[in-house]
Amino acid sequence: MEKVWSHKPLLVFGIALSFFYPTVGLGQSDNIFEGLKVTLCGTSSPIPAPGRAQACVAIETPDHLFIVDAGSGSAATAQLANIPQDKLRGILITHYHSDHISDIGDFNLNSWVAGRQAPLLVIGPEGADRVVDGLNMAYELDRGYRVAHHGADLLKPELGVLQSRVIEEGIIIEQDGLRITAFEVSHPPIEPAYGYRLDYGGRSVVISGDSLVTEKIIEISNGADVVLHDAMALQLVRGAESFARGAGNDRVATVLHDIQDYHATTSDLNRLVDEAAIGQLALYHLVPAPRNAMAIAAFTNGVPDGAIITEDGMTFSLPSNSELIIID
Ligand SMILES: [Zn+2]
Ligand SMILES: [Zn+2]
């Protein structure tokens, strides 16, 4: 039996699915918001936390959808948050640690099924071509199965193959009113690792990726409406290190020790808000991501006043040419 999906049964399927699972969408565009809309599709780091995917931020305008990083679990979270993946143009990668790239394949598949009109671009520092070549090879069998099953009319084979673009620091995209700037961050020993600033309609968002608080991040964050910065609660990581050491787990203790010098600590972030004029500081890529209200309280200790500890699915809507920040 030939199985070709048309949009209509897909819609019926979606409506039926939404009846049982009200938050599950088809990943296609519906309501157009005039401005920059930022959705957290992942707020965690390699230390797992229930209900949180690893690093991922979606940024949408009426004409664009870009994702910054694609950590484990983030493609599912993006679908649950109804991100219109037919609009997805590219994934901006900050660096190639696994917690930033492990869901690229799922984003590629989901946006292909949703009706993306061009190959998905993976944009990032040196190495993007190697990662993309490897993923294209790893998913070659899967692409073949999907096309054979659903038909080349629904899933155009050339749209299932990822493309790469290696970038350097500076303005990397300027189109239809959206400007994306890549800037170098400090996440040794990774060089270069980038953060991104996106500007549209007089509004702006800065995403740090993994970084210490640097002069450059302070400069690029100055005047930004929303800054999403990675954050480590040093007191909690040190506590976990000594707990692991005490329990005789030296391997885990060593890893917990090594990570302490390459993420912004919650108290370092005070320097960021003191020296840069920021509309709203919001923390993501939380190390360790808090699992409950008590852990959030412990994490918040020392964090700058007014900073938000983000959760998966949280959105920041920045209407064009206004100063409003709507947080949902
Ligand atoms: Zn990293
Ligand atoms: Zn990371």
122-157 per-position pLDDT tens digit? 999 999 999 999 999 999 999 999 999 999 999 999
Ligand 1 centroid distance, CA of 207 (Å): 13
Q: Which domain holds residue 263?
A: 38-320
Task: Evaluate whether residue 167 is within a structural domain.
Answer: yes
Question: By C-alpha distance, which of 146, 218, 214 is closest to 185?
Answer: 214
d(CA 218, CA 221): 5
Does some domain include residue 128?
A: yes
What is the total count of domains within the chain?
A: 1
**Closest by alpha carbon to 5, among 146, 100, 116?**
146
pLDDT at 266: 83
Quick one: average pLDDT of 223-248? Answer: 93
Q: pLDDT digit string (tens) for 70-90?
A: 999 999 999 999 999 999 999
List, in sequence order, every residue forming a beta bridge with 206; answer none if it has no partner.
197, 227
Give a yes or no: residue 29 inside a domain. no
* pLDDT band with cut points at 50, 70 and 90 for residue 29: low
Distance from residue 38's CA to the centre of ligand 1 (Å): 21
Does the residue 48 lie in any domain? Answer: yes
Residues in the chain: 328
Is 33 contained in some domain? no
Residue 304 lies in a domain: yes
- Relative to the alpha carbon of 71, which ligand is closest? 2
Provide the CATH number for the domain around residue 234: 3.60.15.10
254 CA → ligand 1 middle, Å:
17
Name the closest ligand to CA 45.
2
Instruction: Please write down the HEC assignment for all residues of 63-83.
Output: CCEEEECCCCCHHHHHHHCCC
Between CA 180 and CA 47 the distance in angstroms is: 30
In a domain, 265, yes or no: yes
Q: Is residue 174 part of a domain?
A: yes
Distance CA 65, CA 181 (A): 15
